[in-house]
């Protein structure tokens, strides 16, 4: 298979875009990525999306966006893996270019969530869980994560406040990301006193939904080899793994085995170890997920994820910088788009475009996108140069 | 890229399976395909589905089914392209094996539609059309096809009864397909007098919905080269193309340009012409679509599709056998599964397993799956030997 490079990236501000339709939001990111790549056309379009049938009454988003951005007659398809849809679409585009089947791919992760009332969105998000054996019992998606977090605190003896650094770091970093959903620093005191959502998860443990889209253009690596200017960004590894869809079916509900599997394969493919990763855009849908991702991906011992935050290792100047552009917690979590925001952010880090939250000398970055409560996990490693 | 073979196939009867859940239906086809292939595991799972978020409240079907059929930790993903989801998933699995990224893929097309009331399903199917510019005007999916059919009859001077052979052939062939939804022969008289759905489309122009799943196992061709027994079935070509999502945006709403594009690419890839195709499983969601597919794919002149039916060329003994297992019209149209039923049926023809509707000496077969009103069209060509 051919090596593949990321030639262009684009993203929209994550917000409640009541004045913009689904196609406008996705189109904005798509055009930005094409412009950044200096291309007008690509061979194929891969769209990551989770909720458009439920929220916008629109299926067939591949063709829908190919039509909107002027890729008439080109191949187009939609990929869905719940909140992991963005990275799953990226992987599909990557494989198509790597295989030689096509010579360029545009990948767009897009989600419009705020056109519906909150309870409708909560119901829509629950479709990521097991409809027969989880949702049917009345548990919501945040409820499932709350059960995991409570069990984790019980098992390893952490207090709720021990998770605060994850959210404080995310909010601090988002202050410097113009497209982030939330621009407000938070303190430990605010974190502890925030409104409860599903005990022990409160509002500052949970990522906000939003409307947004992020995109990237993929081409064979040899096409960028001779280009002057910006650092070349190569896709060094891509891996996807699954776990049981219901959390209660897992041997150990506190271990993200799909993160372990996909990150291990990715390290092998990129020929690196966790120590080599300069920046890690992880999937902090809830603060507990930050801890579990760090552990399963080899950055912390089992049950010791929160320690990295408490030891101040996760800031852009730390040993394991995470959520450098705000993460899901403060950049926002437009579910099917999130995986593509992570890819875009790693590219920005490797290009050195992150200003106040730039990780100095970042050369190797990792993005990990999670669908469901750890059910589908994709890990991508990018390298500059 | 490596050549890829189809090692196993499986399917469920299309019906109103009120006693079976989504996972049971998909699992049945998946296990049948694995058993037919003589495998217990595959590397990755690709699921084609359109409506599960709307009808079953379930997203993330890739992981959902990987869990159910015991493919724990394996990669899994869902692909959606409206009624073209089945073939789109097949193409994704094909590319993954062809690229060398994986060594075996299970592709499952699955749909559960009959758990909801008819008007809910009609609304769900309309998500294949343009939500902003078609559905918002109050037109249903069958309504869009009715507009196309009326225009076609006006433009080329056909009467409604001229489309009857498509439905009569499909129903006659379905009599010999045990998994078909409808087992009843129909006559020209019945066709003409059937209840109107959306003028000029009546009940016998339209395919019935249903619950069903069909699956196939893909492996590199060299793996089957030395196997004794059954004919080896090779994937000779795969191509996907799109058109505008809204029919009214097309230069000519009576020409399926995406069928033209994808079939032309497929012929080139397989090094064949329409004359070489022994059996053509086309996407007869409505009788008008049979005519348009035959024309755009090079089997009939523009506006002359119905002639093939009237001249008795489309039966299993004709020059262009179509819908040999009943087609969407009588085998049934479980939307996201349909593309995989077509693939399974072409394999059955090339294996010589079709009994009374066997196309004698069939060696090259084509399947064409359509998403929306001609918006996404995938063409696959299979060869035996």
DSSP A47-97: EE-SSHHHHTS---HHHHHHHHTT-TTSEEEEEEBTBTHHHHHHHHHHHHH
Which DSSP string corresponds to A257-288? HHHHHHHHHHHHHHT--GGG-SEEE---SBHH
**pLDDT exceeds cutoff 80 at B55:** yes
Catalytic residue among A17, A171, A283, A333: A333
Cβ burial of A20 (10 Å; 0-12, 13-18, 19+) is middle
- Rounded distance between C-alpha atoms, residue A251 and residue A233, angstroms: 38
- Residue A50 with chain B: CB contacts under 8 Å: 59
| pLDDT confidence of residue B227 | 77
What's the mean pLDDT in A25-29? 98
Query: Token pair 């603060």 is at which residue?
Result: A287
Q: Which of B54, B59, B98 sits opposite A128 (nearest CB)?
A: B59
Indicate if B176 belongs to the active site: no
- The answer to whether residue B46 neighbours chain A at the CB level (below 8 Å) is no
What's the mean pLDDT in A270-283? 98
Burial readout B280-298 (b: 16 or more C-beta within 10 A, e: otherwise): bbbbbbbbbbbbbbbbbbb
- Residue B21 with chain A: CB contacts under 8 Å: 132
What's the mean pLDDT in B340-361? 98
What's the mean pLDDT in A115-140? 92
Token pair belonging to B22: 């989504």
Per DSSP bridges, beta strands A105-111 and A44-48 are: parallel
Q: Is the ipTM of this complex over 0.90?
A: yes
**pLDDT exceeds cutoff 90 at A72:** no
| pLDDT confidence of residue A168 | 98
When pLDDT is cut at 50, 70 and 90, the band that residue B107 belongs to is: very high
How is residue B185 annotated by DSSP?
A: -
Q: Which of A54, A99, A246 sits opposite B99 (nearest CB)?
A: A99
- The answer to whether residue B79 neighbours chain A at the CB level (below 8 Å) is yes
**pLDDT exceeds cutoff 90 at A316:** yes
- The answer to whether residue B259 neighbours chain A at the CB level (below 8 Å) is no
- Rounded distance between C-alpha atoms, residue B357 and residue A116, angstroms: 50
Cβ within 8 Å, pair B77-A88 = yes
Catalytic residue among B17, B171, B333, B380: B333
Per DSSP bridges, beta strands A279-281 and A364-371 are: parallel
| pLDDT confidence of residue A160 | 98
Q: Which residues pair with A78 in a beta bridge?
A: A47, B80
- The chain-wide mean pLDDT, for chain B, equals 96
- The chain-wide mean pLDDT, for chain A, equals 96
Which one has a higher pLDDT value, B233 or A119?
B233
When pLDDT is cut at 50, 70 and 90, the band that residue B179 belongs to is: very high
- The answer to whether residue B279 neighbours chain A at the CB level (below 8 Å) is no
- Residue A2 with chain B: CB contacts under 8 Å: none
| pLDDT confidence of residue A88 | 98
For residue B264, the distance in angstroms to the closest alpha carbon of chain A comes to 12
Indicate if B83 belongs to the active site: yes
Cβ within 8 Å, pair A64-B245 = yes
For residue A130, the distance in angstroms to the closest alpha carbon of chain B comes to 7
Which DSSP string corresponds to B363-375? -EEEEEEEETTTT
Q: Which of B71, B80, B240 sits opposite A80 (nearest CB)?
A: B80
Mutate one of A56, A245, A269 to test the B interface: name it (highest B CB count within 10 A). A245
What's the mean pLDDT in A282-286? 98
Closest Cα in chain B to A237: B101
**pLDDT exceeds cutoff 90 at B1:** no
Closest Cα in chain B to A371: B60
**pLDDT exceeds cutoff 80 at B228:** no
- The answer to whether residue A1 neighbours chain B at the CB level (below 8 Å) is yes
- The answer to whether residue B377 neighbours chain A at the CB level (below 8 Å) is no
When pLDDT is cut at 50, 70 and 90, the band that residue B118 belongs to is: confident
Catalytic residue among B83, B171, B283, B354: B83
Q: Domains along chain A?
A: 4-117+209-225 (3.40.47.10), 123-205+232-384 (3.40.47.10)
- Rounded distance between C-alpha atoms, residue A342 and residue A346, angstroms: 6
Cβ within 8 Å, pair B132-A21 = yes
Q: CA separation (Å) from A385 to A226, A237, A379, B130? A: 12, 15, 20, 42
What's the mean pLDDT in A140-147? 95
- Rounded distance between C-alpha atoms, residue B103 and residue B96, angstroms: 8
Cβ within 8 Å, pair A95-B99 = yes
- Residue A56 with chain B: CB contacts under 8 Å: 131
Q: Which of B72, B132, B242 sits opposite A76 (nearest CB)?
A: B242
- Residue A57 with chain B: CB contacts under 8 Å: 123, 126-127, 131, 135
Please answer whether residues A175 and A183 qualify as being in contact, where contact means their C-beta atoms are separated by less than 8 angstroms: yes
| pLDDT confidence of residue B72 | 87
Instruction: Report which of B244, B306, B307, B277 is spatially closest to residue B368, judged by C-alpha positions.
Output: B277
Instruction: Report which of A176, A213, A209 is spatially closest to residue A326, judged by C-alpha positions.
Output: A176
**pLDDT exceeds cutoff 80 at A154:** yes
- Rounded distance between C-alpha atoms, residue B185 and residue B169, angstroms: 9
When pLDDT is cut at 50, 70 and 90, the band that residue A123 belongs to is: very high
- Residue A54 with chain B: CB contacts under 8 Å: 53-54
pLDDT in tens, A224-274: 887 777 889 999 999 999 999 999 999 999 999 999 999 999 999 999 999
**pLDDT exceeds cutoff 90 at A3:** yes
When pLDDT is cut at 50, 70 and 90, the band that residue B385 belongs to is: confident
pLDDT in tens, A42-51: 999 999 999 9
- Residue A376 with chain B: CB contacts under 8 Å: 60, 62-63, 76-77
Mutate one of B76, B83, B242 to test the A interface: name it (highest A CB count within 10 A). B242
- The answer to whether residue B92 neighbours chain A at the CB level (below 8 Å) is yes
For residue B100, the distance in angstroms to the closest alpha carbon of chain A comes to 7
Q: Which residues contact B353 (CB under 8 A, 6 or more apart)?
A: none
What's the mean pLDDT in B142-165? 98
Q: CA separation (Å) from B237 to A77, A380, B224, B364, B379? A: 18, 30, 18, 11, 8
- Residue B124 with chain A: CB contacts under 8 Å: 53
Q: Which of B59, B75, B81 sits opposite A63 (nearest CB)?
A: B81
pLDDT in tens, A177-218: 999 999 999 999 999 999 999 999 999 999 999 999 999 999
Query: Token pair 């790549």 is at which residue?
Result: A37
- Rounded distance between C-alpha atoms, residue B60 and residue B47, angstroms: 9
- Rounded distance between C-alpha atoms, residue B177 and residue B182, angstroms: 9
What's the mean pLDDT in B314-328? 98
| pLDDT confidence of residue B76 | 98
């Amino acid at each position: 298979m051919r090596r593949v490079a990321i030639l262009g990236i684009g993203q929209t501000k994550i917000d409640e875009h009541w004045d913009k339709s689904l196609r406008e939001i996705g189109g904005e990111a798509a055009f930005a990525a094409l412009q950044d790549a200096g291309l007008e056309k690509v061979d194929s379009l891969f769209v990551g999306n989770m909720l458009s049938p439920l929220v916008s009454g629109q299926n067939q988003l591949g063709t829908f966006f190919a039509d909107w951005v002027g890729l008439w007659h080109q191949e187009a398809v939609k990929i869905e893996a719940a909140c992991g849809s963005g990275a799953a679409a990226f992987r599909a585009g990557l494989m198509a270019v790597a295989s030689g089947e096509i010579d360029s791919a545009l990948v767009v992760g897009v989600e419009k969530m705020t056109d519906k009332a909150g309870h409708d969105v909560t119901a829509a998000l629950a479709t990521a869980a097991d409809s027969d054996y989880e949702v049917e019992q009345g548990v919501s998606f945040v409820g499932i994560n709350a059960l995991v977090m409570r069990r984790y605190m019980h098992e390893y003896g952490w207090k709720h406040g021990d998770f605060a650094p994850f959210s404080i770091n995310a909010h601090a970093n988002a202050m410097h990301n113009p497209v982030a959903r939330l621009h407000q620093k938070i303190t430990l005191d605010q974190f502890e006193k925030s409104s409860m959502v599903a005990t022990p998860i409160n509002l500052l443990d949970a990522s906000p939904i939003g409307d947004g889209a992020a995109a990237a253009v993929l081409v064979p690596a040899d096409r960028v080899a001779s280009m002057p200017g910006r650092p070349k960004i190569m896709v060094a590894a891509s891996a996807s793994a699954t776990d049981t869809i219901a959390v209660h079916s897992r041997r150990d509900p506190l271990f993200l085995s799909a993160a372990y599997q996909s990150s291990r394969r990715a390290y092998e493919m990129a020929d690196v170890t966790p120590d080599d990763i300069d920046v890690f855009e992880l999937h902090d849908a809830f603060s507990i997920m930050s801890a579990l991702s760090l552990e399963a991906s080899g950055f912390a011992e089992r049950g010791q994820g929160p320690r990295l935050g408490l030891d101040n290792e996760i800031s852009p100047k730390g040993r394991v910088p995470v959520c450098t552009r705000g993460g899901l917690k403060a950049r926002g979590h437009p579910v099917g788009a999130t995986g593509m925001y992570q890819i875009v952010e790693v590219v920005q880090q490797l290009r050195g475009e992150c200003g106040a939250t730039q990780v100095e000398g970042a050369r190797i970055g990792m993005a990990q996108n999670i669908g469901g409560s750890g059910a589908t996990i994709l890990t991508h490693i990018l390298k500059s140069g």
